[in-house]
Amino acid sequence: MTPMSERLIMHDAPLFNTLAVIGPGLIGSSILRRAQQTQTLARRLIAIDHSPNVIERVRHLGIADHATSSLINGVKEADFVILCIPTGAVASVAKHIIPHMKASSILSDVASVRHSLAQQIVPHLSRDISFVPAHPMAGTEYSGPDAGFSTLFENRWCLLIPPEGTQPAAITRVEQFWQQCGAKTRQVDEQYHDQICAMVSHLPHLLAFTICDTADRLSSDLRSDVLEYAASGFRDFTRIAASDPIMWRDIFLANQDILLQTLERFQNETNKMAEAIRTNNTEEIIDRIKRGRHIRQGLIANQQN
């Protein structure tokens, strides 16, 4: 049972004094909107981005108290800094800002691939700064500060991947932060995280980009008819192929090994399905369709539909 005094503090005071979001895109701007709406996450909101256009949009949208292109000025007063930038940039930006962060502050990121990230960042931590990465499993195919919304994380999972030896108090605060964003939280290890994400997110994106690419390489009359008749499966299937190219290049590269292994499993199953079709093996085709359908029905039962 939490003592009454602590419970009062949790409810009355924001979790952090100053929150700095580096990269107020879809995820970052959704965090800012949520913080603004609930007033329980932080007293003061800072948005940091290297792009003047993004800074201008953030100011126009009014979703931060201060918007700046200076990493160092932006982070120096924050007690919680979240990197919401492409996976490939996380380690270098983290190393760059750590020396300028407040003592005892918390650093986090939302990268979709964890492989070796903690390893690259933890040795650079100093002055009691904690690194508590968290990956919210939420998103849309849109990007940029205009794409965010305060309910993006509602009922979604947010996986915490704290490196070994992280202060439990820091983990708890980041967990509370995401719960107040509406998310369900769970701690997992790096390797398991990357396996799960390869299957539920990275492989589907790779396939969606590639089937669109395959369509793009068709003769021009066929291609325009594909667009015309896309309602029959292609449309839903390819929605995620509108996602940001740099973000996805970084994810594919960062999760290279596990993604390629997952792809290989998928290709083996695809080859077996193709062989069953080629040899008119009706039972095998039905069996494969039913197995697939079974998982899909599990999803519906999980109310993820």
Considering only residues 235 to 274 of the shown chain, the ones binding its own copies according to CB under 8 A are 235-243, 245-246, 248-249, 252-253, 256, 259-260, 262-263, 265-267, 269-270, 273-274
Instruction: Count the neighbouring beta carbons within 10 Å of the beta carbon of residue 231.
Output: 8
Instruction: Looking at residues 115 to 174 of the shown chain, list those that interact with its own copies (rule: CB under 8 A).
Output: 137-139, 141, 156-157, 159
- State yes or no: residue 179 binds its own copies (CB under 8 A): no
> Considering beta carbons, is residue 9 or 246 the nearer one to its own copies?
246
> Considering beta carbons, is residue 34 or 202 the nearer one to its own copies?
202
Copy the structure tokens of residue 65: 């108290």
Region from 62-70, 94-102, 166-174, 207-215 binding its own copies, contact rule CB under 8 A: 207-215
In 39-183, alpha helices (H): 52-61, 71-75, 87-97, 117-121, 168-180
Residue 176: CB partners within 8 Å, gap ≥ 6?
10, 15
Residue 43, SS3? strand
The Cα 203–Cα 208 span in angstroms is 8
Tell me how many degrees the CA angle 188-150-101 measures, rounded to the nearest 5.
Answer: 60
> Considering beta carbons, is residue 42 or 183 the nearer one to its own copies?
183
- Residue among 12, 103, 217, 220 that touches its own copies (CB under 8 A): 217
- Cβ at position 69, least distance to its own copies in Å: 24
B/e letters for 129-168, b = 16+ CB within 10 Å, e = fewer, are: bbbbbbbbbbbeeebbbebbebebbeebbbbbbbbeebee
- Cβ at position 243, least distance to its own copies in Å: 8
> Considering beta carbons, is residue 122 or 211 the nearer one to its own copies?
211
- Cβ at position 28, least distance to its own copies in Å: 17
The Cα 229–Cα 233 span in angstroms is 9
- Cβ at position 164, least distance to its own copies in Å: 21
- State yes or no: residue 72 binds its own copies (CB under 8 A): no
> Considering beta carbons, is residue 5 or 304 the nearer one to its own copies?
304
Instruction: Count the neighbouring beta carbons within 10 Å of the beta carbon of residue 211.
Output: 14
- Residue among 67, 196, 220, 258 that touches its own copies (CB under 8 A): 196
